[in-house]
Amino acid sequence: MAVSLLLSLFSPLSPAAASEKETPMQSYVSAMQPGWNLGNTLDAFNPNDPETEGDETAWGNPRVTKEFIKEIKKQGFKSIRIPITWDKRMGGAPDYTINPDWMNRVQQVVDWSLQEGLYVMINVHHDAWKWLRTMPANHDEVMARYTAIWTQIADRFKNHSNKLMFESINEPEFLNVDTTTQLALIDEINTTFVHLVRQTGGNNDVRPLVLPTLYCNAEKLRVDSLANTIAKLNDPNLIATVHYYGLWHFGVNIANYTKFEGDAIKDVDTTISNVYDAFVSKGIPVIVGEYGLLGWDAADGVPQHGEMLKFIEYFTSKSVENKITLMLWDNGGRFDRRALQWRDQELYNLIMASLKGRSSTGESDLIFVRKDAPAQDTVMPLNLNGNVLTSIKNGDYELIKGTDYVLNGEDLIFKASFLAKLTESAELGEVALLTTRFNNGADWTFHVQYNDTPVLQNAEGTTGSFAIPTAFNGDRLATMEAMYAAGGNAGPHNWTSFKEYGRNYLPSYATNEIKLTSGFFKEVSDGEVILKFHFWSGAIIEYKITKNGTSITGTAL
């Protein structure tokens, strides 16, 4: 397409016009929804390969193929972010020449993506913390290297379609300086980037350029600083970007933030409000270039599955309402690149449904029926979000309204007689998977658990290998507290008694044990520690461990 046409396509609007109609750049970014990250691939490196740092398979993913890019498009994604690490794939000063084989490979993946009709974002990725963050102490060297990289990238792709966009740097940070100085440095990086790309000609005159906040964080100070940079640049083809992995406490399940409620919801609202006010309301589009939850990489069930789904539903739908485009961070953990299927189909279904409106959710996705307890109805509050319940199925059996369940406002009540049938002669554990359907949005699944009080046993081990034999009896672990018998919180993050799920402790339902990690014991002093295991049924079981050097003894209480 001719540059003159592109200039027309991406022409600036006056502030008054921007408030009345969507800007061309906002339309561009809206058309990218939803987006997906080719994570841990072209950004991957092998520190044991000092010459090249390995290739795109270094972090466990297969090489990208044209067929795989087709599959991503087939899954319904409209855009792809391709993170790229350039360090060690380029020569030294003063030219910093990028390895031609590496540049060719980058272009090949970019071209495959464009051929599928995807919007494409490429960037400078892990270089941010490998060398760019030393900018305060090595300003001239860092800027020389940074400008050399983008001069070469911009020149290589200057005639590519403007469905290709450049992102200046991933999650920028700077060592050993205060926030004010860091904000000044990212302003310099972003400003240099925009001027450099614009001077390289071709379609780069009007190519969409993506500028991050400091750390890609949505804190008000940081979004306001980037908004000032964008206003100063006075370029209509700029896009702001932040990343979002939820409230940290909830995302990693620490400090008793087991549920998506309260502070976790407020954090979503604050993030969206900050970026909307700073950018979208002024006609500057926003891409959340990465989103997910930090606990996804720690262990399965971090956060608990139903709570995770509630976060995804709320964050996705609220972002779409505020014209914010989302790009799912996927390092291979969400979409299986070998089997070409989603590791969590419910997650995928909810993401796609939430692009179109609110989905209904339950207060939980767990229903507990306690062994030997008197039969009783179970009330499960729903968040209908404006939808209508249409049916509930247990496999091929459709539950009968009025007999198996009733809906009282937003309270879904499963009848005692129905639950008794599910648990009659059943073994402890999951006895049913109830699929709840609505007139709009994704289904919501309830796991019916026939449970009894969990039982923990005595154990011996070391700080490197310790596990508590556990009969879960159909229950599921929510969180763990650790406190010294003599007083005070034990273990990492001792500002809270509730420890981090996955990294400090981890249940194994397959092997009937709860493992305490070496990372937990590294910050536990010798002596007695009382553990409190909180289960989703409401059960709380205490257990004592005694640490003596590397030796650990566990005692059921």
Nearest to 174 by CA among 215, 202, 119: 215
116 is catalytic: no
Q: Where are the alpha helices (DSSP H) in 234-304?
A: 248-252, 263-278
Which of 171, 173, 307, 481 is flagged as catalytic? 171
Sheet of 444-451, strand order: 366-370, 444-451, 429-438, 389-394, 397-398
Q: Residue 512 in 3-state DSSP? A: coil
425 C-beta neighbours (distance < 10 Å), count: 4
What are the structure tokens assigned to 289, written together? Answer: 């270039």
- Residue 19's contacts (CB-CB under 8 Å, 6 or more residues apart) are 283
Q: Rounded to an integer, what distance in angstroms lies between the CA atom of residue 88 and that of residue 406? A: 63
Concerning whether 321 is annotated as a catalytic residue, the answer is: no
The dihedral sign for the CA sequence 133, 138, 140, 141: negative
Catalytic residue among 53, 56, 167, 290: 290
Please choose, from the candidates 232, 259, 316, the residue with its C-alpha nearest in 3D space to the C-alpha of residue 35: 316
Distances (CA, A) of 414 to 335, 423, 474: 34, 13, 19
Task: Return phi, psi of residue 302, to 5°.
Answer: -120, 110
> Among all chains, which residue has been given the structure tokens 């007695």?
528
3-state secondary structure of 156: helix
- Give the strand order in the sheet containing 361-362: 361-362, 378-383, 411-414, 405-408
pLDDT value at residue 3: 35
Q: What sign does the dihedral 87-91-97-99 (CA atoms) show?
A: negative
Other CB atoms within 10 A of residue 352 CB: 15
* Euclidean distance between the first and the last CA atom of the chain, given in angstroms as a whole number: 74
Residue 1 has what pLDDT? Answer: 36
The whole-number pLDDT of residue 185 equals 98
What pLDDT score does 52 carry?
78
Q: Is 431 helix (H, G, I), strand (E, B) or coil?
A: strand
Is 388:418 a contact under the CB 8 Å cutoff?
no
Residues 85 and 492: their CA atoms lie apart, in Å, by 32
Burial class (CB in 10 A: 0-12, 13-18, 19+), 234: exposed
CB within 8 Å of 546: residues ≥ 6 apart? 527, 528, 529, 552, 553, 554, 555
Nearest to residue 479, comparing CAs of 496, 495, 465?
496
DSSP, collapsed to helix, strand or coil, labels residue 482 as strand
The answer to whether 61 and 351 have CB atoms below 8 angstroms apart is no
Calculate the alpha carbon distances from 8 to 2, 13, 79, 410 in Å: 10, 11, 23, 51
> Mind listing the pLDDT tens digit of every residue in the chain (557 residues)?
333 334 333 333 333 333 447 899 999 999 999 999 999 999 999 988 877 788 999 999 999 999 999 999 999 999 999 999 999 999 999 999 999 999 999 999 999 999 999 999 999 999 999 999 999 999 999 999 999 999 999 999 999 999 999 999 999 999 999 999 999 999 999 999 999 999 999 999 999 999 999 999 999 999 999 999 999 999 999 999 999 999 999 999 999 999 999 999 999 999 999 999 999 999 999 999 999 999 999 998 999 999 999 999 999 999 999 999 999 999 999 999 999 999 999 999 999 999 999 999 999 999 999 999 999 999 999 999 999 999 999 999 999 999 999 999 999 999 999 999 999 989 999 999 999 999 999 999 999 999 999 999 999 999 999 999 999 999 999 999 999 999 999 999 999 999 999 999 999 999 999 999 999 999 999 999 999 999 999 999 999 999 999 999 999 99
10 Å CB burial of residue 178 (0-12, 13-18, 19+) is exposed
Residue 147's φ and ψ, nearest 5 degrees, are -65, -35
3-state secondary structure of 381: strand
Burial class (CB in 10 A: 0-12, 13-18, 19+), 50: exposed
* Rg for the chain, CA atoms, rounded: 26
Closest CA to 463 of 364, 343, 555, 554: 554
